[in-house]
Structure formats: C-alpha cells, structure tokens
Structure 1
Amino acid sequence: MLYTALQVTISTMRLLHVIHSMSPETGGPAESLRQRASEHIRTGDTVEVLSQDRPDAPFLKTLDFPVHAISTEIGGYGRSPELLQWLRQNVGRFDGVVVEGLWQYFNIAVRKAAAGRVPYAVFSHGMLDPWFKKQYPLKHLKKSAYWLPFQYPVLRDATSVLFTTDIERQLATESFWPHRWQGVVVPFGIAPAPDETPSQLERFFAAVPGVRGRRFVLFLARLHEKKGCDLLVEAYARVAGQYPEVDLVMAGPDADELQKQLEGMARKYKIENRIHWPGMLQGEAKWGAFHACEAFVLPSHQENFGVAVAEALACSKPVLISDKVNIWDGIKADGAGLVDTDTADGAERILRSWLEMDGEQRRAMSRRAQACYERRFSMSRCAEAIRQVFAR
C-alpha cells in the first residue's frame, strides 16, 4: 500500500515509540525518531518514547519529549521483563505504538502488551533488506531460526509495517518466508536545516582545522562496512592527484573499529594528509560541516533512506550517492545529485563527474538540491502519514 493523501480528519493523538536506543551513535533510526517526535509535538500530538538506554545517559537530557529508559536486559536480544511490565501497565494510555526497528526483544514485548488493546505499527528501518542476507550468511541463518516463532508474528499482526520507499517495501519480501503483512510506504523526511551561521562554521573548523580555506567533499555517517567507506577511500585516491585542492572529510562514529583499516588504505595510496577523521560531529559542528562542504558523498551498499542525505539536500548541497540508497531515483530525477553503482568504479565516477563541473554547474545543482528537499523530504508529511495509519 502506498500512502497518498489524507482522507480522514485526524484529531491529535497520543503516540508511544519503542526503540532500543536513542543514542546518536546508533545512526538513522534514533535521529529520525527524534525529528519525527518533534514534528508530532509541533502539530499537537503527545509523544513518549520507551527505550533500553541507561536512565542517566547524557543524550537523553537533550530531547524535548519524555523517554522512559529501562536498561535491565537478560541475555541476548535485549530481553527485559521490566520493559514488558511497563508496557502492560502503560500501553492503554496511547492511541498507537510505533516499533522502531527489528531483531530485538521489545518487538515481542509490544505485540504481547498491545494485543487486543492498542494498534501498533513497525518501522523496519531497512532491516529486511536482502543485502544483509548476502553479506552475512551466518547471521542470516541465526535470524531465520528467530523469524518464524518471534519476529514474523510481530510483523504479521501489526496494523502496518512501515517502509520509507517502494523499493524498500519490495526488497523486504526477499529475505525471509513467510512475509505476509500490511506494508505501507510513508513519505519520510527531516526537519528543515538551520540557516548557516559563523558559529557553526567555527565549530566545524575547530574539529577539522585542516580543511579551513580548502575545498572538500563530506562523508557523514557511521564508519561501517555497509556505508561503502572503503570504496570511497579507493575512489578518492584515484582522483586526488588530479585535484590537489580538494580534500575528503570522513566524519562519523567508529563503533566497529573500521577507521584503522581505512587509514591504512589512505597510507597505502599516499593520501593520508588529504583525508580527515574528526569522529562524530553533532549540533553546530555537524551543520557547519554540511554548510562548508561542496558536496555530500555516500556510496552505501544498503540504505533505506539516509537521513544525512536529506540533511545535505536541506543545506543546498548536492549528494553523490550509490543506487543502493533507496531514495536515489527521486534525487536523480530532480537533478539534485549524481548516482552510480556501489563499487569503487562507481564512486570514482560520481566524484570525477562532480569535480569536472564548472562553478555555474555546481551552483545550479545546489539550487536543485534545495528544491528536491522541499518537494520530497518534508518531515510534516511523514508525521501526518503515521497518524493516518492509526486513524484507519
């Protein structure tokens, strides 16, 4: 099912979102929930979040909505009788529950607690993409054993399973069997980017002083195998000699300790002084990075949406992405970026194509990037679509 236009007049709703962690280091699901929750609140909805973070986690203090943090876990998959008890006692206060992601115990807990009482929907966040099946066959076998008795019933019994693109919805049926559920594509989005300020730029240049006054392209995501980080380093090495004035910033958390391997690649190609590794950028430093860069690059192997892609577009920055970022078709149609395969050759082609453009061509693509964001990735449409799911 594709979400199109609202056909039901919806009063304000009380929504509960359940997620494993709201930590910014976990990537897109936490950031997208933060932005969606803020939009729901802006339009009059009541939003609460249930997570398995530590109650004293500092990032929880930065959120503008209540988070009930229950960190007690037993064994794998985040099993928590305390979390199930909280849900049974509180789920009746809400008009709907949104499960954020798969493969964790909170999925089972929501199904048990909400059954016959409150409708729930499941955001898959790309976790059913067959790329994981191909890349990690042993993990897939383990998940296959978990699928039929635990994960599949959660999806089957949900009011809706939410996907961000039709590509993601179609791919989700290729990983496991059975796969009968009520799939709904909702228009995903982000909040508008803040206007550029001097303090943003100074925060960024304080984190990455080596690019002050230089041209650079920006990678801003987790340093993870699926993001195509190694492809980007190799591709940049192929063009760096021809464009000595252009650097590469690789910004993101390194939970999988991939950075050392990537730095080794940079030394091998003799470009170690041209690639900058500031770690995770947040707040003003993050927005300073977007505003200061020439373009954003993400040659990912799998991306159901890509929050940072939309954030770059919102900052009028063209995006250089692979065709495995599932919003690539709209971006290409709008002329807001460059798209190629998730290979080193593909990454090289998009970098080289960008660098070969003259100034007017780059400025024109920047204008189209902003228009693409406004046309396709407004957060208000996403929030309304989720409310519509529970109004049916």
Structure 2
Amino acid sequence: MVGRDLAAVHAAPAVPRQGGDQRHAAHQYLHGRRRRGKSEHIDQHRRDRRELYRLRYVSDDAGAVLARQLLWRGLSQAHCLARRESAARHGDRDRDSARRGGSRGERHQDLRRRGGGAAGRLDIRRSYRAACGALAEGQVAVRRLGVLHVIPSVSLREGGPARALATMERALDEAGVRVTTVATSHGLGDAAPARARRIYSKLWASPYKFAPGLAPTLAAAIRSHDVVHIHALFSFSSTLAAWIARLYGVPYVVRPLGVLNAWGVGERRARLKRLSIALVERSNLRAAAAVHFTSEQEKEEAERLGLAFRSVVIPLGVEAPEQSGDATRQLLPAALAGRMAILFLSRVSPKKNLETLIDAFALSPVLRKSAALVVAGEGEADYVERLRARARVAGVGEAVCWLGHVDGAQKALALRSADVFVLPSFSENFGIAAVEAMQAGLPCVLTPGVAVAASAEGAGAAIIVEPEATALRVALERLIGDGEARRRMSVRAREFSHEAWSTETMAARLVDLYETVARGRSSGE
C-alpha cells in the first residue's frame, strides 16, 4: 500500500521532451525501448508500469490524489498522478469489478482482460498516459495524510462541537489533508455541509449516543487512515474508536470538549462520570498520542483530576460569520422597535446560566426601559419553558425575545443587529459564540468560566464579570449607556478576533500534530 512516511523522495530523472505533452514523456520513460546493458533495468520498468496501471484503476487511491502528488512504495522512482477528467467513468468501472469481488490485483487483471484487442489496449494506454507523469526536476512526491474524525453528532443544534468540526474539516481539506468523519445519524437534518467525506451510522439510543453499527464502520475506516481524532468522552463512539485504534496500532488524539473540567465532571450524572473515568476514560486518555485542549484554562482544569495524558493546546479557528441576508430586516418585533438589543447566542442549557441573566435584566430599570434581551439558541423544551416562565414572573416576559436555533442568514441578522453580546456561562472550554460575536464587532460581557474571556479582556474587546445578577446588571448598564465605549470595543474586537483565532493557524498546528504522531507510529515509538 501507500507509504506511511511523509518524507520527501528523490525526483524521477529528467525526461527528454520531444514535443507533445510532458505527460507523454513519462510514458516514454517507462515504456520507451531504451537500450540498456542489464536486464534488471527492464524488469524494474515493467514492475513500475504494472504498479502505475494498478494505481490508475483503484478508485479510492486515485481520488486521494486529485490535488496532491503521491508516493507509491512499489515504484523505483517518484511519480505523480495528474487530475483525471474522466474520473467518474473509471470509478464506475472499478465499482463494477468490486461488486464481483476479488482483490485489487484481480480487479486490475479483469480490467486488462476486458481491454483485450487492439482498440481496448489503445484505450488503456491513452488513459495511462493521461494519468501518469514524471516529476519535474526538484519536485517531491508526498502522500496525503489521512485523518479520521470521530464524533457522536454533527448536528449544529448540539452547539459548538459540531460547528468546530465543520470548520476543522474545511481548513484541513484546504491544507491538503485527506479528511473523513464518522458520526451517528443524530440530527442529520441539521448537519453542516462538509467538504470532507462523512460516514453515518444509525443511532439506536440517545443516551451515550449508542450506535452498534459504528463497530464495522470504524474498524474499516481506522485501518485506512494515519491518525484518528476523537471528539468527546463519555460516548459510545469515542470509547469504541479508542479501543479499535489501539487494536490496530493507529495513533489517536482525543479532544475532551470541556468535560474534564470541574463543571463537566461535577454536574449532571456526576457519579456515573466518575465511574466511567475510573473504568474507561482513564485508559483511553493514557493511551492517546495526545489530548487536544482548545485553551490553557481547559488544560489546567483537566490536570487537576490527576489523570495521566500527553496534552497539547491548539485553539480553535473560527470562521467569520456570514454577512448575507436582507439588510433592512429587523431583529426585534415591532413592539420592541427602537430598543437596544442584548444578544445571547449559544445552546440553551443550565451551564449557560441564563437564569442569572434574566434576573440581572429584571433588576435594572435602565435595561427594562431601553433594551431587549434576545435569546438565540435551542435547548430541551422543558428547560426553555421554565426560563420563559421565569421571565414572565420577573415582569420582563415581553422584553425577552426567544429566537430558537439560528443559523445562516438568521444568525447573520442577529449578530448584525445586536448592540452588546453576553455569555454568562459557568464553564466554556473555548467559547465559539463569543469569538463569532467579536468577529462581528460586538462588545462582549463574559464570565471567568469562558476560556477566551481573559485574552479578550486583555485586548480591550470584552468585560469580565462574576456569574451573578448584580455584576451582570452593572456591566450591561455601562455598555448600553456609553456609545463611545461600545464603538471602541467594537474596533478592538474585530481586529483581535481575526488575528487570534484564524482557521489557517489552527489547520497548520493540527497538521503538525498529526504528522508528529504519525511519525511516532512508523518509528514504533
């Protein structure tokens, strides 16, 4: 199979060009009847020709080299494949032979048999010439690094993890990485469009995201990739992926998604989580090639658990919010027209501390008179209804606008129309919503539990307050009443967020991490 090392290889010898396309020169190099003194040279060129033919007709390998050059260990020299304009036709032929069964070598022989006769042989030679080319002087051939992402759900309604994964897929694809994602079928209707290949398995039960069909899918996918990147703990998919990766000797990276901090372990099924850490997650983390944290704060909190793991901090890259949509459309209903908009944009859950935000809004005569609280996000129906009831009892039910889940043009409208952003969470291992708000130029009110809060405050883009009603009320009143402070913070927020959390920087650091752990595998470390 394709070599797993990522080292550069010597380029093929320069081929004299005698007119025509340079790809024909590669054909002449391999097929030309050059006079050689030793028969082993001829034998080696025959072997090269056989390998290139075989590589040409294997659809999955050919698809992996559409944008990059490829190193094939069976060749004596380095060669590359050109883009194939007729990839669909040859892919269909390969799938036809695959349905009949047989190894890749047998399918290759079948294709040769079907190409019997002068016309068939000529067609194969033409396809071969279009596919093969010798590398130019100084070029090197490298194999595309294969990374498999495993996550319980890709639904955008689940909040930041699915959104961060979609951004990772796009950034890594642009960096030349061959990306595949395996997930359950949970929330497929709300999945983000992906440039990576995605494989879904039917979800049987929501608790633990149980999907037994993942077992054969992961077993096949993990063996064909260099590195596995597991997103989440306390999940069937992450436990299974770690076990299979260890079984086949494939290195894996774990991104805990904040569940190893004090809030993640101590709240919501705390006893079950501690039992899972002792029996399952401890060994998964210890055997991981790296544990990927998105902030120093998340890493420090996880280390307090006393678990053994190799950690790396790589902040997420955040794409600038979409700016499409009707610029004349209004965010607030007519009854609230003319008021300033305080935006909360995140998943609605107890961790987000919305109860305290509603109380802070109700405590302030200034906010009740001149502002509206906009809640953009979705959560469990019973919990959302309790929050609505809390606002009504506090006398601000009419001043709180519940948008539900927003994305695309709706999300762009919310960010464009708001005056202040607030995220009073008890715990955020990163804070994608806060970064998106800063990219849109919104001054932010954040709590210490939001991982990006300290750096944002240092840049003058945010105010940090304790997660309690009085502190939130004071900070919001200050920004609502001071237009100059809002404008100053808006400029700093845009500049800082685009510099600190770019997708290009994230992709480069992830590729470095993947290559490091892949080299460790090939060297037996």
TM-score by length of 2: 0.67
Q: Contact between 2:166 and 2:192, CA under 8 Å: does it hold in 1? A: no
| Paired position in structure 1 for 2:484 | 360
The Cα shift of 1:256 comes to 5.2
Matches within 5 A, 1:99-114: 99-114=230-245
Matches within 5 A, 1:81-160: 81-115=212-246, 116-136=248-268, 139-160=269-290
- Identify the match of residue 15 of structure 1 among 133, 147, 153: 147
Alpha-carbon spacing, 1:88–1:198, altered in 2? closer, same or farther (3 Å): closer
Matches within 5 A, 1:144-293: 144-174=274-304, 176-177=305-306, 179-195=307-323, 197-199=324-326, 202=329, 205=331, 210-241=335-366, 244-255=369-380, 257-293=382-418
The Cα shift of 1:212 comes to 4.7
The amino acid that maps onto 1:172 is: A
Residues in 1 aligned to 2:270 and 2:279: alpha-carbon distance in whole angstroms: 15
The amino acid that maps onto 2:303 is: T
The amino acid that maps onto 2:374 is: V
The answer to whether the aligner puts 1:77 opposite 2:77 as a matched pair is no
The total of aligned residue pairs comes to: 376
The Cα shift of 1:346 comes to 2.4
The answer to whether the aligner puts 1:29 opposite 2:153 as a matched pair is no
Residues in 2 aligned to 1:74 and 1:279: alpha-carbon distance in whole angstroms: 25
The amino acid that maps onto 2:181 is: V
The Cα shift of 1:11 comes to 7.1
Q: Contact between 1:200 and 1:284, CA under 8 Å: does it hold in 2? A: no
Residues in 2 aligned to 1:66 and 1:212: alpha-carbon distance in whole angstroms: 45
Residues in 2 aligned to 1:242 and 1:26: alpha-carbon distance in whole angstroms: 30
Residues in 2 aligned to 1:322 and 1:201: alpha-carbon distance in whole angstroms: 33
Deviation string 1:341-361 (CA, Å, 9 cap, x unpaired) is 11122222221221232x222
The Cα shift of 1:240 comes to 4.2
Deviation string 1:80-122 (CA, Å, 9 cap, x unpaired) is 4421211111212212111111101112211222125321101
Residues in 1 aligned to 2:365 and 2:240: alpha-carbon distance in whole angstroms: 51
Residues in 1 aligned to 2:373 and 2:192: alpha-carbon distance in whole angstroms: 33
Residues in 1 aligned to 2:441 and 2:260: alpha-carbon distance in whole angstroms: 31
Q: Contact between 1:322 and 1:346, CA under 8 Å: does it hold in 2? A: no
The Cα shift of 1:367 comes to 0.1
Alpha-carbon spacing, 1:349–1:189, altered in 2? closer, same or farther (3 Å): farther
Matches within 5 A, 1:368-387: 368-387=492-511
Alpha-carbon spacing, 1:210–1:41, altered in 2? closer, same or farther (3 Å): farther
Percent of matched pairs sharing the same residue? 24
Residues in 1 aligned to 2:447 and 2:206: alpha-carbon distance in whole angstroms: 37
Q: Contact between 1:240 and 1:271, CA under 8 Å: does it hold in 2? A: no
Task: Point out which structure has higher relative CO (alpha carbons under 8 A, 6+ apart).
Answer: 1
The answer to whether the aligner puts 1:41 opposite 2:168 as a matched pair is no
The Cα shift of 1:39 comes to 1.2
Q: Contact between 2:258 and 2:264, CA under 8 Å: does it hold in 1? A: no
Deviation string 1:121-164 (CA, Å, 9 cap, x unpaired) is 0111111111234444xx22111222122111111111110111
| Paired position in structure 2 for 1:301 | 426
The 3-state SS of whatever aligns with 1:273 is: helix
The 3-state SS of whatever aligns with 1:324 is: coil
- Identify the match of residue 440 of structure 2 among 309, 315, 324: 315
The amino acid that maps onto 1:143 is: K
Alpha-carbon spacing, 1:168–1:322, altered in 2? closer, same or farther (3 Å): same
Question: Bigger CA drift: 298-307 or 65-74?
Answer: 65-74
Residues in 1 aligned to 2:504 and 2:381: alpha-carbon distance in whole angstroms: 34
Residues in 1 aligned to 2:265 and 2:478: alpha-carbon distance in whole angstroms: 32
Q: Contact between 1:97 and 1:120, CA under 8 Å: does it hold in 2? A: yes
Deviation string 1:241-293 (CA, Å, 9 cap, x unpaired) is 45612111011112252222222222222111111011111111001100110
Residues in 1 aligned to 2:149 and 2:336: alpha-carbon distance in whole angstroms: 40
Q: Contact between 1:60 and 1:67, CA under 8 Å: does it hold in 2? A: no
Question: Bigger CA drift: 161-170 or 69-78?
Answer: 69-78
Residues in 2 aligned to 1:163 and 1:11: alpha-carbon distance in whole angstroms: 28
Q: Contact between 1:210 and 1:276, CA under 8 Å: does it hold in 2? A: no
The 3-state SS of whatever aligns with 2:150 is: strand
The 3-state SS of whatever aligns with 1:317 is: coil
Q: Contact between 1:129 and 1:171, CA under 8 Å: does it hold in 2? A: yes
The 3-state SS of whatever aligns with 2:250 is: coil
Deviation string 1:189-227 (CA, Å, 9 cap, x unpaired) is 2012334x452663x63x855555431110011111110
Residues in 2 aligned to 1:80 and 1:305: alpha-carbon distance in whole angstroms: 28
The amino acid that maps onto 2:316 is: F
The amino acid that maps onto 1:85 is: P
Deviation string 1:3-51 (CA, Å, 9 cap, x unpaired) is xxxxx99974222111111111111100110111111122222221100
The Cα shift of 1:372 comes to 1.5
TM-score by length of 1: 0.89
Residues in 2 aligned to 1:91 and 1:304: alpha-carbon distance in whole angstroms: 27
Matches within 5 A, 1:309-348: 309-348=434-473
Residues in 2 aligned to 1:226 and 1:201: alpha-carbon distance in whole angstroms: 34
The Cα shift of 1:181 comes to 0.1
Q: Highest CA radius of gyration, 1 or 2?
A: 2
| Paired position in structure 1 for 2:30 | none
Alignment gaps of 5+ in structure 1: 1-7
